[in-house]
Amino acid sequence: MNYILKNGYFPFTDEIKDIYIKDGLVEKIGDDLESTTLDVKVVDLKNRIIINGFVDGHMHLDKALIGEKVMNKSGTLFEAIEIMSRYKSNMTKEDVKARSRKILDLAYKNGTRFLRTHIDVDHKIQLKSIEALLELREEYKEVLDIQIVAFPQDGINQNSKSQFYLEEALKMGVDLVGGIPAIEEDPIKHMNIIFDLAMKYDVDIDMHIDETDDPKSLIIKDLGEMTIANGYIGRVTAGHCCSLAANEREDILPIINLIKRAKINIISLPSTNLYLQGRGDKKNIRRGITPVKYLIEEGIPVIIASDNIRDPFNPFGNANLLEEVLIAAHGCHMGGEEDLNKLFDMVSIISGESLGFGYEIKEGKKANFIVLDAVTKVDSIIRQANIFGYFAENIFRTN
């Protein structure tokens, strides 16, 4: 069965258009499209939103669902890292694939079509998780565009084996190299190693930066300077950046301007950081989320993503970006119409374009877009709208 979808709302161009789907591909996008054959079903979308799908720009698929097996009793970041270090000693490739597949299916059901995941490489897990995700990237390529970040969770400065495996992952074809400089006594050395590898294999960088409440921890400044010095402007992403929120706005404006000059993408992870940060505060407990409003006011692309899903770092999560946006709206004090519109864009067009995904519904491409049961971005967030997806068997169904 082929389809003509009438009166779909394209929110990023503010247009009402029809889409003709033939043999699972977008045959034509236009106005007042009509069927000339009997095998076309016409569906009136009544101005419902059509987008390419949601973009989850930061996830840890190799850790997902481990929280259902091993409980983090303190709820702290430190215990989470300890749990993962122990768990990884016995983690198998099959275990990684089984848990990851559950989350990929759930993310797809909830409208995600593009996803970037950080995957641990070290002397314990070696390359087993990387192998698992490379196979899953191929398995899901018809429905999900997956980027893989090789991620040295336990550091590399004093661990030559972890550095070896990190480089081996790049040779195997991962998309990006990650980093977590705060784990090291010498974070600058860590970042230099990451930049050297990135330039050697010509890949972009995506680092975990300043996941702390300490106002003095501002490695983001060093990252900005290093990005410019190495000619990597526009090729670096920084996740978390919580310590920016622990400082006065006027004190961090020079750093924000540096981020802008380096064209660093900032990824905010509201669910995980609301859960982990501020635990040491005895009063006026901080939310710990990077100052999203300050950043976007300065023209810096900010992305909202899932991060951890039911693992030792965060017991919550449903691989649902509309849910993540709702959490962000609360945690970032962004409940106005303009704010909610911006948050919607942070899990769709901004993240799609900033992270290098081909984010555009084009004629001749797979009809892998989604339709939201809402006529405005705001409505889709507030009501947590149902999602309709086009599947290979030519069936529309809801979540």
Query: Of 323, 339, 354, at which residue does a domain stop?
Result: 354
Q: How confident is the model at residue 398 (pLDDT cuts 50, 70, 90)?
A: very low
Does 314 share its domain with 350? Answer: yes
At residue 303, does pLDDT exceed 90? yes
- Residues 222 and 188: their CA atoms lie apart, in Å, by 8
Residue 121 tokens read as 């490489």
Q: What are the two backbone dihedrals, phi and then psi, of residue 176, each rounded to the nearest 5 degrees? A: -140, 165
- Residues 27 and 151: their CA atoms lie apart, in Å, by 40
At residue 396, does pLDDT exceed 80? no
Does 170 share its domain with 314? Answer: yes
Residue 79 tokens read as 């215990």
Residue 344 tokens read as 């919607």
**Which phi-psi region, left, alpha or beta, contains residue 60 (left: φ > 0; alpha: ψ -120 to 50)?**
beta
Does 274 share its domain with 367? Answer: no
Does 194 share its domain with 225? Answer: yes
Judge contact between 165 and 175, C-beta under 8 A: no
Query: What is residue 208's DSSP assignment?
Result: E
Does 194 share its domain with 263? Answer: yes
At residue 391, does pLDDT exceed 60? no
Judge contact between 217 and 243, C-beta under 8 A: yes
Residue 71 tokens read as 């409980």
Does 207 share its domain with 300? Answer: yes
Q: How confident is the model at residue 157 (pLDDT cuts 50, 70, 90)?
A: very high
CATH number of the domain enclosing 342? 3.20.20.140
Q: How confident is the model at residue 37 (pLDDT cuts 50, 70, 90)?
A: confident
- Residues 317 and 184: their CA atoms lie apart, in Å, by 29
Does 320 share its domain with 390? Answer: no
Find how far residue 35's CA is from the centre of its chain.
39
pLDDT digits (tens, 9 = 90+) for 11-24: 999 999 999 999 88
Does 275 share its domain with 137? Answer: yes
Does 316 share its domain with 380? Answer: no
Q: Of 198, 202, 62, give the one whose Cα is nearest residue 127.
A: 62
Q: How confident is the model at residue 159 (pLDDT cuts 50, 70, 90)?
A: confident
Output the pLDDT for position 394. Answer: 40
- Mean pLDDT, rounded, for 358-373: 93
Does 47 share its domain with 89? Answer: no
- Residues 190 and 187: their CA atoms lie apart, in Å, by 5
Q: How confident is the model at residue 39 (pLDDT cuts 50, 70, 90)?
A: confident
Task: Find the largest Cα–Cα distance for the chain.
Answer: 69
Judge contact between 52 and 355, C-beta under 8 A: no
Output the pLDDT for position 283. Answer: 86
Query: How does the average pLDDT of the chain come out, rounded?
Result: 94
- Mean pLDDT, rounded, for 106-135: 96
Residue labelled with tokens 């930061």 = 58
Output the pLDDT for position 390. Answer: 59
Residues 6+ away with beta carbon under 8 Å from 206? 58, 116, 118, 149, 176, 177, 178, 236, 237, 238, 239
Q: How confident is the model at residue 95 (pLDDT cuts 50, 70, 90)?
A: very high
Judge contact between 388 and 327, C-beta under 8 A: no
- Residues 349 and 355: their CA atoms lie apart, in Å, by 10
- Mean pLDDT, rounded, for 307-320: 96
Does 265 share its domain with 346? Answer: yes
Output the pLDDT for position 38. Answer: 75
pLDDT digits (tens, 9 = 90+) for 205-261: 999 999 999 999 999 999 999 999 999 999 999 999 999 999 999 999 999 999 999
Number of separate domains in the chain: 2
At residue 166, does pLDDT exceed 60? yes
CATH number of the domain enclosing 24? 2.30.40.10
Does 169 share its domain with 60? Answer: yes
Judge contact between 91 and 356, C-beta under 8 A: no
For residue 18, give its domain range.
Answer: 2-52+360-398
Q: Percent of the chain at pLDDT above 70?
A: 97
At residue 82, does pLDDT exceed 80? yes
- Mean pLDDT, rounded, for 69-78: 89
- Mean pLDDT, rounded, for 327-334: 96
